Structure 1
Amino acid sequence: PQVVAISPTEGAIPANTLRLYVTFDRPARGMVATRDLRLVDAEGRTVDGAFMDFGQDLWSPDGRRLTVLFDPGRVKQDVEGDGDSAAPLRPGLSYTVEVGRKHFHYRVTPALRTPVNPQTWGLALPNAGSREALKITFDREMDAALLRDQLGIVDDQGGFQSGRVTVSASGRAWCWRPNHGWLPGAYRLVVGSSLEDVSGNRVGEALDHDVGKPDALSQGSVLLFKVGPRVVRQDAGAC
């Protein structure tokens, strides 16, 4: 099996990135394992214990996507070391994830420790009567796998709408194209409670918060929007 994609995509990722998704061109369960991945620093040294070993790999039902977790005890502050001292990724440095013959390069930015806030998202609305996509842009890179099943469209009668989801390679844009033309009226974008960014932060709840400090319960959210004629379209990023 050959690696065809990795998420987060190549580029900059937060120091507390929680997981990677490695996608293969065909089922790879039983032929590839988490232990086959290496995290290498800019000096070519392997970062020991960077990935969590559950004793059983986390595969998608079709056996093509492997989920690899950075050790949460090292990602979170003050668990296995003072502050971020145990973190496998350090801000300002560069790393390479090696999967077989594939090398994916990352530059590490400061950790992201704030809850997801849907009120910061941008919406580019479609026109009534069209099958144009509703486009959502995010203020951070989101978990690409969760974006596919944690967002939904509901009409003003409470009925979930059927359509096709596309997620940008960067994880910063989500597009939803209806199976039928948009009817004019009010709609809701429903955000599931399990939606996370790449650092495991959810709506109203940061993964890494002060022990004993009350935090908002992880809960879903709803964004209201209306579809009408002659909407001025704005670029929401590629999907």
Structure 2
Amino acid sequence: MRKPSSATGWSSCWRTLSFTVCVLLLESLTCAAGTPKEGPFQLAFEVDAKDPRLCRVVVTAENVRFWASLIDADETQFQRVLSLKRESQTDQKLSAMLGKYQLRDNRLEFKPAFPLVRGNRYQATFDPAALKLATKIPDQRLQATHVIPLPDSKPPRVLSIYPSGNQLPANHLKFYIQFSEPMQQGDIFEHFSLFNKTQGQLVLRPFRHTELWSRDGKQLTLWFHPGRQKTGVNLNVELGAILNAGQEYELRISPKWAALSGHALGSEVRKTFQAVATDERQPEIHDWKLKSPVSGTRAPLICQLGEPLDFALLHSQLSVQTVNGNQIAGKIELEDAESVWKFTPDTAWQPGAYQLQVGTVLEDLAGNSLQQPFAVDLSKQQTASNRVGDSVTLPFEIK
């Protein structure tokens, strides 16, 4: 190349050189046939070596300038560029997973907010068009899938469903379902259905879509929608009650629902029951019958409740105390469809006066508590005579 004789010549030479570099860059991104080579972006999953549930999705760019539009981006903008979704086992459309986005030099990283679940398939999607680059690059989306292998363990089991009885009031409210291990949470209601055996059809929209789990993830409280079980409110009027007295039903749990381990239940779980007359009467503690044990033994204190009451509340709202308020340590057991409460002390009974303390939030199967019925007529003022405190007591003596 001939040496330029002026500043104008140097400027012209520099424009020519810059144009040549740009052409070479574009040619490096496109093959002779006009299709991408490896492309300016690479999409991959990076998995933690110690725990395969922990991973991040990474997009590596040829040039850090490609991320210019993401420097001050919010999560919505990031999701348009890079998203991670769990593939649904049904046709349900699932939303993108939440997590943390980060730019590191030429890498765009996404770390999910929660560990991935074994056995599930996840799909990451990168859309370069969402970057709105001025440089012409192939705008074809990149996708990558990832499956975490299942461990060598047994499938989960449903250990019990409460109420355990096979007759429930037509205004029944909730079930407690206990599992052998923690289950997958989020979008669980696709795995539940209620079948009316008498009519031979599914009951539409029976559940309240709120997940209530125990801390260990092994017990789920599954509610029928209260708006359909309470007479006179909108959903009850529009859709009707969920249960009809005299008809038979099945609560069904899908075999596809999996534990956190990734193993699915494998077989459908069913609880069959008959709906009986609605229950609008509050539990009456003064109708309970106590059978006191003998001192010097660890025989149980037995309380006949007169009707099935709420499984979980029978464990949390009843306690045995001395008359001075000192709580007695022991074990609670329920029998006869949760209509019998038994308490076995850790040490032998001593002679003296005791009391059974009962929290007044204790409910029956229809949500009627010691404090008030489930369906309250707000037009009628509650009087002092029908109000109760936070707890009531039943005295008994050990001889």
The aligned counterpart of 2:170 is: 15
Pairwise CA RMSD: 2.0
1:85-128 deviation per Cα after TM superposition (whole angstroms, max 9, x unaligned): 72100111111100120111111111111111111111111001
TM-aligned CA deviation for residue 136 of structure 1: 0.8
The aligned counterpart of 1:149 is: 316
Cα distance in 2 between the residues matched to 1:196 and 1:63: 23
Tell whether 2:369 aligns with 1:202. yes
For residues 162-173 of structure 1, what are the structure 2 equivalents within 5 Å?
Answer: 162-168=329-335, 170-173=337-340
Cα distance in 1 between the residues matched to 2:237 and 2:358: 32
**Any conservation in 1 of the 2:361–2:371 contact (CA below 8 Å)?**
no
What amino acid sits opposite 1:28 in the alignment? Answer: M
The aligned counterpart of 1:45 is: 201
Unaligned 5+ residue runs, structure 1?
229-239
**Any conservation in 1 of the 2:230–2:236 contact (CA below 8 Å)?**
no
2:178 alignment partner, SS class: strand
Tell whether 2:395 aligns with 1:224. yes
**Any conservation in 1 of the 2:355–2:396 contact (CA below 8 Å)?**
yes
Q: 1:170 to 1:45 in 2, by over 3 A?
A: same
TM-aligned CA deviation for residue 163 of structure 1: 1.0
The aligned counterpart of 1:70 is: 224
TM-aligned CA deviation for residue 147 of structure 1: 0.6
**Any conservation in 1 of the 2:172–2:365 contact (CA below 8 Å)?**
yes
The aligned counterpart of 1:237 is: none
Cα distance in 2 between the residues matched to 1:10 and 1:118: 21
What amino acid sits opposite 1:70 in the alignment? Answer: F
TM-aligned CA deviation for residue 172 of structure 1: 0.7
What amino acid sits opposite 1:217 in the alignment? Answer: R
**Any conservation in 2 of the 1:29–1:64 contact (CA below 8 Å)?**
no
**Any conservation in 2 of the 1:20–1:69 contact (CA below 8 Å)?**
yes
Which residue of 169, 179, 197 corresponds with 1:24? 179
For residues 10-159 of structure 1, what are the structure 2 equivalents within 5 Å?
Answer: 10-30=165-185, 33-42=188-197, 43-54=199-210, 57-80=211-234, 86-100=240-254, 101-159=268-326
Q: 1:226 to 1:130 in 2, by over 3 A?
A: same
After superposing the two structures, state which structure 1 stretch, 73-82 or 41-50, moved more: 73-82
2:271 alignment partner, SS class: strand
What amino acid sits opposite 2:167 in the alignment? Answer: A
TM-aligned CA deviation for residue 218 of structure 1: 5.2
- TM-score normalised by structure 2 residue count: 0.54
Structure 1 or 2, whichever has the larger Rg, is: 2
TM-aligned CA deviation for residue 158 of structure 1: 2.0
1:148 alignment partner, SS class: helix
Larger helix fraction of residues:
2
Cα distance in 1 between the residues matched to 2:236 and 2:360: 30
1:173-207 deviation per Cα after TM superposition (whole angstroms, max 9, x unaligned): 11111111111111110001221111111114111
Unaligned 5+ residue runs, structure 2?
1-155, 255-267
Cα distance in 2 between the residues matched to 1:148 and 1:82: 31
Cα distance in 2 between the residues matched to 1:163 and 1:39: 37
